[in-house]
A and B are shown apart, each in its own frame.
Chain A
Amino acid sequence: MYGFLIAVGTLLLLSIIWMVYRIQTLVSVVKGSDKKIASGSNKINALMFVFFLIGATILMFWYSIKEFDNYQLPIASEHGVITDQLFWVTMAVTGVVFIITHILLFWFPYKYQWKEDRVATFYPDNNKLEVLWTIVPAIVLTFLVIGGWRAWSDITAPAPENSHVVEILGYQFAWEVRYPGMDNTLGEHDYRLTSATNVSGVDFTDKNSLDDFMSPVVVIPKGEPVLFKIRARDVLHSVFAPHMRLKMDAVPGMPTRFWFTPTKTTEEMRRETGNDEFVYEIACTEICGRGHNAMRKEIRVVEPDEFRKWMSEQKPYIVNNPSLVEGLPADLKELAEITISEHK
Chain B
Amino acid sequence: MATASVASHSDAAHDHHDHEHHDNFITKYIFSTDHKMIGKQFLVTGIFWAIIGGLLSLIFRLQLGFPDMSLEWLRPILGGWITPDGALDPEFYLALVTMHGTIMVFFVLTAGLSGTFSNFLIPLQIGARDMASGFMNMLSYWFFFVSGVIMFISLFIETGPAGGGWVVYPPLSALEQAIPGSGLGMTLWLIAMTFFIASSLLGGINYITTVINLRTKGMSFSRLPLTIWAFFLTAVIGLLSFPVLFSAALLLVFDRSFGTSFYLSDIYIGGEALPNTGGSPVLYQHLFWFLGHPEVYIVLLPALGITSEVIATNARKPIFGYKAMIISMLGITILSFVVWAHHMFVSGMNPFLGSIFMFLTLIIAIPSAVKVFNYLTTLWRGNLIFTPGMLFSIGLVSFFISGGLTGIFLGNSAIDIQLHDTYFVVAHFHLVMGSASFFGLMAGVYHWFPKMFGRMMDARLGYIHFWATFIGVYLVFFPMHYIGIAGFPRRYYSWTGFEFTNMYTDLNLFVSVAAILTFAAQLIFLFNFFYSMYKGRVATLNPWRSNTLEWTTPLHPQHGNWPGEIPSVYRWPYDYSKPGAAEDYIPQTVPLSATPESNLPHEQELVKLEKEIIADEEAVLVANESTNS
Given the known inter-chain contacts A90-B415, A121-B317, please indicate yes or no for A293 contacting B269, CB distance below 8 A: no
The answer for the CA separation of A80 and B493 in the assembled complex, in Å, is: 28
Contact with A along B246-281 (1 / 0, CB 8 A): 000000000000000000111111000100011111
Residue of B nearest to A37 (CB): B385
Q: Does A339 sit at the interface, judged by CB under 8 A? A: no
**Chain B positions within 8 Å of A138 at CB level:** 366
Question: Which residues from 241 to 269 on chain A have a C-beta closer than 8 Å to any C-beta of chain B?
Answer: 242-243, 245-249, 251-254, 256
B427 nearest CB across to chain A (Å): 12
**Chain A positions within 8 Å of B351 at CB level:** 152-153, 156
A281 nearest CB across to chain B (Å): 5
**Chain A positions within 8 Å of B239 at CB level:** none
Which of B107-115, B321-329, B614-622 contacts its partner?
B321-329
Residue of B nearest to A156 (CB): B351
Q: Does A50 sit at the interface, judged by CB under 8 A? A: no
Of A91, A108, A234, the residue contacting B267 (CB under 8 A) is A234
Q: Is the CB of A172 within 8 A of B178?
A: yes
Q: Is the CB of B366 within 8 A of A121?
A: no
**Chain A positions within 8 Å of B467 at CB level:** 48
**Chain A positions within 8 Å of B240 at CB level:** none
B147 nearest CB across to chain A (Å): 23
Q: Does B381 sit at the interface, judged by CB under 8 A? A: yes
The answer for the CA separation of A90 and B418 in the assembled complex, in Å, is: 14
**Chain A positions within 8 Å of B509 at CB level:** none
Q: Does A21 sit at the interface, judged by CB under 8 A? A: yes
A151 nearest CB across to chain B (Å): 4
Question: Which residues from 487 to 503 on chain B have a C-beta closer than 8 Å to any C-beta of chain A?
Answer: 487, 489-495, 497-501, 503
Q: Does B241 sit at the interface, judged by CB under 8 A? A: no
The answer for the CA separation of A291 and B163 in the assembled complex, in Å, is: 13
**Chain B positions within 8 Å of A252 at CB level:** 171, 264-267, 281
Interface residue tally on A, bucketed by range: 35 or more
Contact with A along B317-353 (1 / 0, CB 8 A): 1111111100000000000000000000011100100
Q: How many residues of B contact A (CB 8 A)?
A: 118
Which of B185-193, B217-225, B400-408, B441-449 contacts its partner?
B400-408
Of B322, B401, B415, the residue contacting A87 (CB under 8 A) is B415
The answer for the CA separation of A194 and B474 in the assembled complex, in Å, is: 49
The answer for the CA separation of A94 and B348 in the assembled complex, in Å, is: 29
Of B277, B354, B493, the residue contacting A253 (CB under 8 A) is B277
Number of A-B contacts defined by CB within 8 Å: 341
Residue of B nearest to A95 (CB): B405
**Chain B positions within 8 Å of A291 at CB level:** 90
Of A42, A83, A123, A246, the residue contacting B415 (CB under 8 A) is A83
Q: Does A324 sit at the interface, judged by CB under 8 A? A: no
Q: Is the CB of A148 within 8 A of B415?
A: yes
Residue of B nearest to A192 (CB): B273
Q: Is the CB of B379 within 8 A of A109?
A: yes
Question: Which residues from 26 to 83 on chain A have a C-beta closer than 8 Å to any C-beta of chain B?
Answer: 34, 37-39, 41-42, 44-46, 48-49, 52, 56, 60, 63-64, 67, 70-73, 80, 82-83
The answer for the CA separation of A147 and B412 in the assembled complex, in Å, is: 9
Residues of A that sit less than 8 Å from B by CB: 21, 24-25, 34, 37-39, 41-42, 44-46, 48-49, 52, 56, 60, 63-64, 67, 70-73, 80, 82-84, 86-87, 90-91, 93-94, 97-98, 101-102, 104-106, 108-109, 112-115, 118-126, 129-130, 133-134, 137-138, 141, 144-145, 147-149, 151-153, 155-156, 171-172, 191-192, 194, 201, 230, 233-236, 238, 240, 242-243, 245-249, 251-254, 256, 277-279, 281, 283-294, 296
A-B contact pairs, 19 of them (CB 8 A): A21-B461, A72-B485, A83-B418, A91-B409, A93-B408, A104-B379, A105-B401, A109-B384, A113-B386, A133-B369, A134-B370, A137-B369, A145-B412, A152-B355, A240-B489, A247-B420, A254-B280, A284-B489, A285-B422
